[in-house]
Structure 1
Amino acid sequence: MSAPVPKLVSMTLPYTAVLYDLDGTIADSAPAITASLAHTIEALGLPVPPASELIAWVGPPLPQSFEVRLGLSGGRLDEAMRLYRAHYLETGALESPIYPGVPDLMAAVHAAGIPTSTATSKPETPATRILVANGLDRYLDLITGASDDEVRNTKADVVAEALRRLEARGADLTRPVLIGDRHHDVEGAAVHGVPTIIAGWGYGDESEYAGAVEVAADVDELAALLGVTLLRGAA
């Protein structure tokens, strides 16, 4: 008697599209960002906050931080952004080490056939430089971020643009998820009904995790939550 033919089991992945934050999720970009912030604030003739305060600027849109934290507006805000962009692009855009294991995670998501895009408040030009320099663009279908003029800069607007671009490519958006590390990731994604998984290795603290569906302590936990197999060193 012939052996029974095994039944094929179709695994349904928990999410149909993955959006990645960049700063504090893929890349440890705080040192480069805070150095450019200190340079900018000093050039404006203002007292430079301590590093412990500048770290809170990393992640949210910088124009908003300059407005809220320094009270800048109009031409003064434009000057601050011009100074910051010039310094960051010249000295810091590529000096953002990638968190250990994240390339393997991104490779596993890509290998599983899940559509992906970044959804970062960082403008697309420096975001693209970081991703391409580290060979991570090959694991992304799209690189979506703030517009270079930062007219599109809120997380909600960036998530909307990432979803729009993925939909235009025919991606299944029935169950998208955002991977981020700060409260503005959670809140911005929620505007569009997108759940957020917190990257616990990022810059946010526990007070910023409210509203997230999960918190992943490391990339192994994140891979399990996404339903993908993580192969160390595969990236």
Structure 2
Amino acid sequence: MRYDLALVDLDGTLTDSAPGIIASIEHAYDALDIPRPSEEALARFVGPPIEESVVRHGVPHERVPELITAYRSAFTRGGMFDNSVYDGIVDALTDLRAAGLRLCVATSKPELFARQIVEHFGLDGFFEAVCGASMDGSRSTKADVVAHALETMAATEDGLPDADRIVMVGDREHDVLGARAHGIPTISVTWGYAPAGEIDEAAPLAVVETPDELVKVLLG
């Protein structure tokens, strides 16, 4: 199947952002004097909306806004760029764009931060748009972000391709489920942060192990 538009996740798909995210989360738990989750649990924070993750790991609902503020403070002071682009990603994006595939970042990270990260690593030239969550939480789930990305791309000069020509690319189950809510299939990558069995259970359209393999699947 040859696709015309790929919505691409950021954390765990384009960049290895775990070091900065985890350090910022640890700072936030310490700032609120709440016991930190285990190292294994902290690794699972990368990718899904942070609001969902902290509630699952010991933060009372009424303290979530306070923790998010502490997290963002640490993240913007340096954690945001304690990050790196995965090997092979730039070459893959270059090949995809040369072949005419349109690309849009669709991430659960706040859009303000996502734009800065994409620009910092020089990836902005590959993407027509960078779409993410809102800072006020009104757009937070992956399904919300996918809807935002589709609306954004529909407003571009080339408009939105037919639904069967759109695909999501991501590393976690929420990428699969968020895209599926809009009838969009997902290609899952194995170099991200999904714990064992998560991708298989989510049942994406395909699973790839390298950026080169991703290019081949996307270009049919």
User: Which whole-Å CA distance do the structure 1 matches of 2:160 and 2:193 have between them?
Assistant: 30
Please state how far the C-alpha of 1:14 moved relative to its aligned partner.
Answer: 1.2
- Deviation string 1:135-180 (CA, Å, 9 cap, x unpaired) is 1000000000111223211000000110111111113143111110
Give a deviation string over 1:168-215, Cα, whole Å, max 9, x none: 111314311111001111111100011010111111144122320111
Contact 1:40 1:80 in 2 (8 A): yes
Who is 2:73 aligned against? 86
> Greater strand percent: which structure?
2
Shift of 1:112: 2.0
Runs of 4+ in 1 over 4 A off after TM superposition: none
Paired residue for 2:48, among 33, 51, 60?
60
Contact 1:120 1:145 in 2 (8 A): yes
Question: Is residue 213 from structure 1 mapped to residue 213 from structure 2 by the alignment?
Answer: no
TM-score by length of 1: 0.88
State yes or no: 1:180 paired with 2:170.
Answer: yes
* 2:184 corresponds to which of 171, 188, 194: 194
Structure 2: give runs of 5+ residues left out of the alignment.
none
Aligned length: 215
Q: In structure 1, how many angstroms separate the alpha carbons of the residues matched to 2:162 and 2:138?
A: 25
Structure 1 stretch 136-145 or stretch 163-172: which is displaced more?
A: 163-172
What is aligned with 2:217?
225
| SS of residue paired to 1:93 | helix
Map 1:9-28 onto structure 2 (within 5 A): 14-28=2-16
Determine if contact 1:20/1:178 at 8 Å carries over to the other structure.
yes
Whole-angstrom CA distance in 2 between matches of 1:47 and 1:206? 25
Secondary structure at 2:81 match in 1: coil
Identity of aligned pairs, percent?
Answer: 41
Pick aligned residue for 2:160 from 171, 174, 178: 171
Instruction: Kindly report the root-mean-square deviation, in angstroms, between the aligned alpha carbons of the 2 structures.
Output: 1.4
What one-letter code is carried by the residue in structure 2 that aligns with 1:218?
Answer: T
- Distance in 1 (alpha carbons) for counterparts of 2:51 and 2:179: 20
Does structure 2 retain, via aligned residues, the 8 Å contact 1:167–1:173?
no
- 2:25 aligned residue (17, 26, 37): 37
For 2:124 and 2:110, locate their aligned partners in 1 and report how far apart those are by CA, in whole Å: 15
- Structure 1 residue 113 corresponds to structure 2 residue 100: yes
Whether the aligned pair in 2 keeps the contact of 1:182 and 1:203 (CA below 8 Å) is yes
* Alpha-carbon distance in 1 for matches of 2:176, 2:31: 33
Q: Distance between the aligned counterparts of 1:33 and 1:171, measured in 2?
A: 33
Unaligned runs of 5+ in 1: 1-12, 229-235
What TM-score, normalized by structure 2, do the two folds share? 0.93
Q: Is the 8 A contact 2:81 2:117 kept in 1?
A: yes
Q: Aligned partner of 2:67: which letter?
A: A
Choose 1 or 2 for highest CA Rg: 1
Aligned partners of 1:44, 1:31: CA distance in 2, in Å? 20
Provide the C-alpha distance between the structure 2 equivalents of 1:63 and 1:213, rounded to a whole number of angstroms: 28
